[in-house]
Each structure stands twice: as structure tokens, then as C-alpha cells.
Structure 1
Amino acid sequence: MAKSRARKTVVLGMLGTTLDNGQGPQRWARWRPTVALCQQEDLLVHRLELLHPPNATSLAATLAGDIRQVSPETEVRGRPLRIQNPWDLEETYGALLDYVRGYAFNPEAEDYLVHITTGTHIAQICMFLLVESRLIPGKLVQVSPDPRDRAGAGTHTLIDLDLSQYDTLAARFRQEQREGLAFLKSGIDTRNAAFNRLIERIEQVAVQSRAPLLITGPTGAGKSQLARRIYALKKSRRGVAGPFVDLNCATLRGDGAMSALFGHVKGAFTGALSDRPGLLRQANGGVLFLDEIGELGADEQAMLLRALEDKRFLPVGADREVESDFQLIAGTNRDLQVEVERGRFREDLLARINLWTFRLPALRERPEDIPPNLLFELDQSSEAVGTRVTMNKEAQERFLDFATSTEARWAGNFRDLNAAVLRMATLAAGGRITRDVVDEELERLREQWRPSGAKAAVVAGDLVAEVLGENLASELDRFDRVQLADVLSVCRASRSLSDAGRLLFAQSRAQKKSVNDADRLKKYLARFGLTWADASGRGA
């Protein structure tokens, strides 16, 4: 039976024109990394492919002769490699890539090492990339001198870039990502698949990017809390060093808006007794969260756009611009594209802040997340009232049956849920919420969400105009407009097309042998050129 041949070790390396240099007997008194590589007791180099500049042929020959003295088993092949500028990344990588593509690798019989102790930093980077991309089917090797014996062989280290072997590193990366996701969700074990995917993408973008983020969604969906947690996550990962500065733009009024945002100088207007830096300057190096950004006036929008693009702006009354480098997180419950069409929001500003847009769903769109959020709110309420608050099983089931039903509007989203749990916690005798306390709270919520006749008419009119636009809405007969308004309000409060259909056709469906409420509703909406996405306000 034929005996298999032992595998050979082949090293590809650059001649170190400085580190490997040396002439005369004194050269043996200094450590030369390429010679040292061939002196390692537990690493036999069978062949060394020595890449060198064409003008260093003499040095390469000397080095090859010295290697033959210390390691007669090593075959040294000098390979001239023409690189005009060894500090030019593109040229260096191109020359090495051409060499590698023309090399006859034989992984079945040979093991390959790439020596990265010598060569310019650019050459070392290129060698790293060629191994990492598996264009060179091998590992990296690096040698180091022994500080106690500068003329000795020193030591060597093998570096395998096949990261799939590093289970511990991969596990640590996954754990860090899981911790980031849990942090953004306040530790709540959310179950809604779409929401969890949204948070995964937000975590990825928050860590990697300093571009503006736009968080949309209904009032109370958690935009402010999420913005704070994005900032905290970025700071923990050293993605930002400055402060978190936040402002609800709906609170800005009149001349004070410009001053609050951009600051002013002393004497800029009556009452300006001293300089004021403004929120944009306070956020320098950090994160500025502008909630309800759609409430900004035209002048403030123009100034903000300039500040985002140039990182410079002019405080009120100043004749010299100031600088501030911050990341903007903007929040809104409006459709800013509609606001642009109505002339209320600058199109160029929307284009600037619309790079990363994330829509937080309403609470009613995430019924499976209400149970874990209930437990979270119970913990929060326990801290607020100063005692541990729990719900017995019957009370919890009673509350969740209502909370996850189509009857529950959750108009204020998490603000409504927080207030409801806090009220129950406050009324819980001995810190235990009973069914009676729950029933009282459910009646309060039903009454709270029941609009008065006048309020319902105003809301209905606004809703039709919002969905169809002012022009199309004005063309409807009053009867059609009132009916459509009611349908839209049901759609906004329902989780799905089927749920909305069941509510709208609850009486007539009982008289039919075969019903398809979703199809009936779809056809009704189509009469007005609407889809379920339009009617529910949730996008595609």
C-alpha cells in the first residue's frame, strides 16, 4: 500500500526592506523577522514565497542564503513584485491580487501561511483581506522577538480568520445583540413578530448610524421612550458622547420658538437680558429629540434644515454663526408627506430626516403584547404607589379579555394602559387588584372612549378629509360622508379587515347563509378608491 506524502507548509510573505535588512557578519546580531520565521522549532517552513521590490533583489538573495543556513529544508523563491507606491492601497492590493490569482495553490497537499510581520501597513492590510476573503486559502502568521534574546528566533502566532470556528465570539455577539434588543423594549418580552422585527432593525441602525431617525406613530405609542433608549444604547456602545436633549415642538409658540431651538444673544429682543445657547447647541455631540416635529413653523423648519446639512446656524440677533454636531431623532403622529402636500411642512426637510423611518404600531395592533406590557405596568405602578401590587388570576383574565378585544380602543395607547393600571394599583386594597377593581376600571375606560355627539361629528369630518383629502371629501353627499366617517372610525379601531367587517355588518350577517364581511368591506372602500391600508391608517 502506498504511503501518503506529508503535507508541506508554504509561507507567502513580503520582504521587510527595513526589518530584514543587514549586511556583513553583524547582521546576525539583530532580529530579522523573515529569518526568525524559519528558525521556529515547532514550525517547519518547506517553501517560502518571498515577495520583494525589483530593486531589492540583492537583499532578497542575502536573506535567502541566511535562511538556507538556519533551515536547510526551506526552499526560498524570490518573487519580484512591482509596486510604484507601497502606501497606495488600490495599487498594492491590485498587485497582490494579480499575484494570488496566478499562483497555483494546492490545498490538498499544502498548508498556506501568510506572514504579516513585514511589509508596509498597507501591504499587511491587503494580505489580511486576501486571507479573510479566502482568496488565499490559509492562515496568518506573525513572529515576535524575545526581549531577553534580541538575536534569537523569538516566537510565532497563528491567526485563523475563519470566524465560523469561533463559537464563543459568535455567542458573545449574539448575546450583545439580544441585550440591545431587550434594552430598547424596556425588558418587555414582546411577542408581536412585526414589532420585534422593527426593534431589530432599529437596534442595527441605532448602533451603526448617526443619520437622522424619524419615528412615527399615534400619540402614546412610545416614541419618546424609544428615543431615550436609542440614545442610552448608543452611549453604552460609545456611539455618542454628548447629552440627550428633548423638546415637544407642540409646546413652542411665537417668537420664543426660534430662541428655544437656536438660542439668542443678549439684547436680541426685549427681555433678552443674557445669551441663551438654545437646544441645538446643548445637544452638541449628543442626540436631539424633537417630538411632534410637524408642529414646527416654516422659519424653524428652514433653520433646522440648515443646521442638519451644514451643522451651522445663526442664533437670534447674532451676526456670527455657531456650530453644533448632533444626531436628530424626530417624532410625529402626523403623515408628514400629507403635510408637505398641504404646504405645512418643507419637502426638503422631510427628505433630509426621512432616511430611516420607523412606524411604531398602535397598542390595538399588538394584542399579543398587552399581557407582557400589563406585567411591566404593574411593576411600574408598584414603584409609584410604594408597595408591591399584584392581580389575582380572575382579575387578570377579566382585564385581558377586554384589553385584547375589539371593544378596547386604547385611544391613548400606552398612556391609556399606564393610567388604567396605575388607577387600579392605587385602589388595590393590600396591594391586590381584584375583579371588582377591574370592573370599575373597565367601565371608566368605556365611558372615556365614548365620544359625545358633537365631538364625534368633528372627528368624523376630519377623518374623511384626512383620508380622502379636502377636495374629494367636499364632493361627497352629506349622507355618504357621515357613513364613510363611521366606517373609517371602525377601521381605525380594528386590528384587521375581518374584525372591522364583523363589527360593521353584525346585524345583517345574521340573516345571511354565507357571509364574507371582509370582502363586503373591501368592496365598500373601493367605491371611494380606498384600501384597507388607507382606511386603517397603517400603511401597506
Structure 2
Amino acid sequence: MSKKRIVVIGFLGTQLDSGKGAARWEKWRPSVALTQQEDTVIDRFELLCTAKYGELGKAIQRDIASVSPETTVAAHHLPIANAWDFEDVYGCLFDFAKHYPFDPDREEYWIHITTGTHVAQICMFLMTEARFFPGRLLQTAPPRRQSLGNPGSFTLIDLDLSRYDQIAQRFSREQEEGVTFLKSGIATRNPRFNTMIDEIERVAIKSRAPILLMGPTGAGKSFLARRVFELKKARHQLDGKFVELNCATLHGDGAASTLFGHIKGAFTGAATDRPGLLRSAHKGLLFLDEIGELGLDEQAMLLKAVEERRFFPVGSDNEVQSDFQLIAGTNRDLAQEVAAGRFREDLYARVNLWTYALPGLVDRQEDIEPNLDYALAQFSAEHGQMVRFNQEARRHYMAFATSGEAAWAGNFRDLSASVTRMATLAEAGRITDDIAAAEIDRLKRLWRRQPRPAGEHAVELDEVMGSEAAAQLDLFDAMQLRAIIGLCRQSKTLSDAGRKLYAVSRDAKAKPNDADRLKKYLAKFGLDWDTVSPSI
């Protein structure tokens, strides 16, 4: 097999390669010196320059021809207007690479990064790393002692070598640390949740676009938003603060004032100027929880603020600016809200670029135990006393927590409150079986008294069974059927839904069959599991 030809691609060094008269040979000139290496023959030198330095380029061509007749020098005049402008330099290099007739089977390419501006060197590296230049990086260095005829040295950097792999592994470890940070060190086991957090970590670091977090109340939307802020703050991507607002607390005329601020005298009671939360979040992160509760007027103002970073405070004719990143949270289906005319389609399109549905605790049963340990560790740290379950209490509590009886209506808030109660009652730091049993009874009573809020996971019977059939239902049957379909959509299987629905009455049956009971109930209305399951 014949040896590949060596081709160098590099910028003309407008300072390093310059020189006139005989004295120029006493100076180390990187491009010329590269062709003076005793044991290396450069077959072709693709010399990149601008028209402004065309004469210097011709002089370097002549000098290379005199010291290395075997080397063919081809000058390429790139239309770079500003050698310190990244977009300009990268664009010209990209166009050059796009049209260059690379032949990796016969030629070996060395990308010279010693000459050119720092911007040019960085762009050369990026082009090589991205394989637009299919070669290896080349660095040249002057001799330690300047002497006539000493060409210095050169080093080839192969981006596929183990040294680069180690760097890549380091970045991989940093990403893993970022993912662990977002999860607060909790060793979660749910594959869907872990995959979602992996992507959120990458998006948080690389993007400033809005993020939409969907999920039931207590699923951890606010907690995750704050962790994203802390991660970006640690990476020096945000200088401002974390500003949080639950939009469900906004009412009437005060809603716009809270968000966008107002000027003195804007309305009755406006005794002084108020900056508003959007300006407070300048250079930071704004988390608007329950964004679906915003009025349509406030939605229009928010859209302008997100897109243009400018808005009018209430009562003001002068625009103000705020450069913030938005994370929105909702327990509603905003697509349905748009269809119903309750949420602006253009705002939904703007915040829907990165959308993540946080699963509730009932859908992450494998994560209950690690989150239980995390909550215990948090309590122990805050109170300065280690608290643990005894073996039987832990087994008893976990059996209930992962059963169909555990509704976890408040999701992680319920779990945190439950741990706090048990840990507070623990004597000598031990949660006994009696304490666990009493807590289980307390949770059962709590969930019976607190049905899921109306509007959350709302079910439109017209869509499920048709408008004509839905119109024939009594109000009692319609309300009951909506609740049952809503629970089915939160359950993994027919049996899972049945266990939740008949958790109490099943004990009175000699041969309980929860799935069959639910199946027969749905059949009364002409429905089956495929019709009401989460996949629809």
C-alpha cells in the first residue's frame, strides 16, 4: 500500500510569517519552518489568507519553493471581513471545507493551528473536531535557541487518541454530576424519569429557551425548577436570582401589577412605583407555576416579554427591559386549554419548545424508597438527630406505600409530610411498627377526605363515549364516570385501577377480582379498558 500524501491546511501568519530581506531567514516563520523538517515531506500546503495579505502569501510561496521543491503551495483567498469575528471566520472556513475535494483514502490532512488569530485557531479546532476537516491538528513551535536553519518542532494532535477520550470522559462525568444535582443525589430508579432528567440537564446547560414542566400537584415542578436555576448559576450562566410565583394566587387587576410592575398613580392604591417580578428576575430565572391560571390579557403581555425581553409596566408609556429565562409549570393540559380558548395558542407555542411531563408518585413506585431515605436524611440533618426505621416498620410501610391503597394524591408533598410525622414521633431515633401503622391509617383517612381537585386530569365524556350517549347520563352517573376514567388514565393496568378503586370493599369479598368489577362497571356505559386507558 502506497504512503499517503501529507497535506497541510493552515492560515498565513500575518505577523509570524512576515519578514523581508536576508534577515527573514534568521527568524522562525511557522509556515516555512514546517516545510524545513528533515524527516518530513509536506506534499501540499493549502495556505489560507485574505486578499489584503496576498503579497505576503506570494512571498511565502516562493520561500517554501526554495527550501522544499517537493511541496506544492496553493493560496486560497478567503473573504473574511473581520478575522476576530467568530461568525465571519467560521462561515468562511465552513464554505472552504464544503467545496474542498478531500480524499482521505490517498491523503493525510494536518490542520495547522499555530498561525492566524485566536478566533481562527478556535474555528480550525472546531471544524476538525466536528470532522468537517477530516484530519489531525498540527502545532508548530520555535527552537529554544534561535539559530539559522533550525526549523523548530511540530506536534500532531489526534482527537481520537486516549488523551482526548479522557477529556471527553471528564465532560461526561460533569454531565453525570449535573444530573445527580438535579435529582438532589436521590438514586432514582424509574427509567422514564431518569431519561427525562438526562435531557433536562443537557437543555438547561445549552439553552435559554423556555421550559414547560407538566404534572400533578406535588410532583416536584417547583423543586426541579429551582435545581435547574442552581445548576445554571453554578455554571456561571445566570447572574440574577430565582423568582417564583404561583399564578393561581393572582386575582383581578393586581395580576398584571405583580408580574409587570406599575408606576405611581397607575390605579387606586398605587402610591409608589413597583418593579414587578419580571424585572426582579433580570439575568435570572423566573418560574411561573400553574401558568394555565393566568388571564388572557396577562398571557399576551407575558408573550411579548418572553419574545422581546421588553414590556410596559401597568400605567406606563415607557417600555422596560428584563432578560430572564422562563420555566413554566402546570397541572393542566395546555393543549386542551388552547382548544377551549382559555390559553393563548401563540404563548403555548412559545413555551412548548422543551416540555416535560413529571410523573406522579403512583407512577414512580420504584422511586418511593430512595425518596423515603432522602426525606429521612433531610429531617435528620435539620434536627441534628439520626432517624431510622426498624426492619419491620420499614417493610410494613413500604408494602403499603407501593400498594394500590396508596393514592399519593399530593405526590412527594404527601411523602415528605408522612416522613416528617413519623420522624417527629420516633423515640430515640427509631420509627417503630406502631408508628408506621398509625401513619398508614392517617394517610388512608387523609386521602378519603381529600378527593383530587376538580379540573385536574379533567375528563370530557363527549370525547370518550360520544356526545349523544353522554347527554343521556344523569349528573350523578356523569360525575362518577368522569372520576373513574380520570383514575384509569393515571393507572398502568386495569388491575392497578381496580385495586385503587376497591381498596376498602375488596376485603369484604371472599374472592376479590378488582379488574373484573371495573370491567363490568365500564361495560354498563359501553366502555372498555382500551377506551379509557392512558394510551388514548
Q: TM-score range by the shorter chain?
A: 0.7 to 0.9
- Taking the TM superposition and a 5 Å limit, the aligned residue runs for 1:136-151 are 138-145=135-142, 149=146
Aligned-residue offset at 1:294: 1.3
1:47 counterpart residue number: 42
Aligned-residue offset at 1:375: 0.5
TM superposition score normalised by structure 1: 0.83
Percent identity over the alignment is 50
Q: What SS does the aligned partner of 1:429 have?
A: coil
Aligned-residue offset at 1:529: 9.0
Aligned-residue offset at 1:377: 1.0
Aligned-residue offset at 1:31: 2.3
1:477 counterpart residue number: 473
Q: Deviations over 1:2-27 (max 9, x none)?
A: xx998876545455465434342121
Q: Work out whether 1:408 is the aligned partner of 2:379.
A: no
Q: When the two structures are aligned, how many residues end up with a matched partner?
A: 518
On the 8 A contact 1:11/1:45 being kept in 2, the answer is no
**Worse overlay, 401-410 or 302-311:** 302-311
Decide which of 222, 226, 229 is 2:227's aligned counterpart.
Answer: 229
**RMSD of aligned Cα (Å):** 3.8
On the 8 A contact 1:221/1:413 being kept in 2, the answer is yes
1:117 counterpart residue number: 114
On the 8 A contact 1:214/1:329 being kept in 2, the answer is yes
**Worse overlay, 296-305 or 52-61:** 52-61
Aligned-residue offset at 1:466: 7.6
1:171 counterpart residue number: 169
Tell me how far apart the structure 1 counterparts of residues 12 and 202 of structure 2 sit (CA, whole Å).
Answer: 42
Amino acid at match of 2:481: L
Q: Work out whether 1:391 is the aligned partner of 2:389.
A: yes
Tell me how far apart the structure 2 counterparts of residues 215 and 208 of structure 1 sit (CA, whole Å).
Answer: 18
Aligned-residue offset at 1:494: 3.7
Give unpaired runs (5+ residues) of structure 2: 83-87
1:288 counterpart residue number: 286
Aligned-residue offset at 1:367: 0.8
Structure 1 residues 473 and 48, CA gap change in structure 2 (3 angstroms) = same
Aligned-residue offset at 1:50: 2.8
Tell me how far apart the structure 2 counterparts of residues 525 and 204 of structure 1 sit (CA, whole Å).
Answer: 48
Tell me how far apart the structure 2 counterparts of residues 155 and 106 of structure 1 sit (CA, whole Å).
Answer: 25
1:62 counterpart residue number: 62
Q: What SS does the aligned partner of 1:240 have?
A: coil
Q: Work out whether 1:106 is the aligned partner of 2:102.
A: no
**Worse overlay, 498-507 or 477-486:** 498-507
Q: What SS does the aligned partner of 1:210 have?
A: coil
Tell me how far apart the structure 2 counterparts of residues 314 and 168 of structure 1 sit (CA, whole Å).
Answer: 51
On the 8 A contact 1:288/1:326 being kept in 2, the answer is yes
Structure 1 residues 92 and 214, CA gap change in structure 2 (3 angstroms) = closer
Tell me how far apart the structure 2 counterparts of residues 243 and 91 of structure 1 sit (CA, whole Å).
Answer: 39
Q: What SS does the aligned partner of 1:334 have?
A: coil
Structure 1 residues 180 and 14, CA gap change in structure 2 (3 angstroms) = closer
Aligned-residue offset at 1:511: 9.4
Tell me how far apart the structure 2 counterparts of residues 425 and 362 of structure 1 sit (CA, whole Å).
Answer: 24
Structure 1 residues 145 and 266, CA gap change in structure 2 (3 angstroms) = farther
Tell me how far apart the structure 2 counterparts of residues 10 and 398 of structure 1 sit (CA, whole Å).
Answer: 72
**Worse overlay, 205-214 or 118-127:** 118-127
Aligned-residue offset at 1:131: 4.1
Structure 1 residues 128 and 172, CA gap change in structure 2 (3 angstroms) = closer
TM superposition score normalised by structure 2: 0.84
- Taking the TM superposition and a 5 Å limit, the aligned residue runs for 1:18-97 are 19-40=16-37, 44-52=39-47, 56=55, 58-68=58-68, 75-81=70-76, 83=78, 90=91, 93-95=94-96, 97=98
Amino acid at match of 2:31: T
1:366 counterpart residue number: 364
2:497 counterpart residue number: 500
Q: Deviations over 1:364-410 (max 9, x none)?
A: 11111111111111112223444211110100000000000000001
Tell me how far apart the structure 2 counterparts of residues 274 and 459 of structure 1 sit (CA, whole Å).
Answer: 39
Decide which of 331, 334, 338 is 1:333's aligned counterpart.
Answer: 331
Decide which of 430, 433, 443 is 2:431's aligned counterpart.
Answer: 433
Amino acid at match of 2:284: G
Tell me how far apart the structure 1 counterparts of residues 337 and 454 of structure 2 sit (CA, whole Å).
Answer: 18
- Taking the TM superposition and a 5 Å limit, the aligned residue runs for 1:253-272 are 253-272=251-270
Structure 1 residues 97 and 347, CA gap change in structure 2 (3 angstroms) = closer
On the 8 A contact 1:97/1:130 being kept in 2, the answer is no
Q: Deviations over 1:38-88 (max 9, x none)?
A: 445xx72213413357965852453125524xxxxx722233446565866
On the 8 A contact 2:282/2:324 being kept in 1, the answer is yes
Aligned-residue offset at 1:126: 6.9
Tell me how far apart the structure 1 counterparts of residues 362 and 287 of structure 2 sit (CA, whole Å).
Answer: 26
Q: What SS does the aligned partner of 1:140 have?
A: strand
Aligned-residue offset at 1:299: 1.8
Tell me how far apart the structure 2 counterparts of residues 412 and 112 of structure 1 sit (CA, whole Å).
Answer: 61
On the 8 A contact 1:145/1:153 being kept in 2, the answer is yes
**Worse overlay, 131-140 or 315-324:** 131-140
1:345 counterpart residue number: 343
1:71 counterpart residue number: none
Amino acid at match of 1:314: F
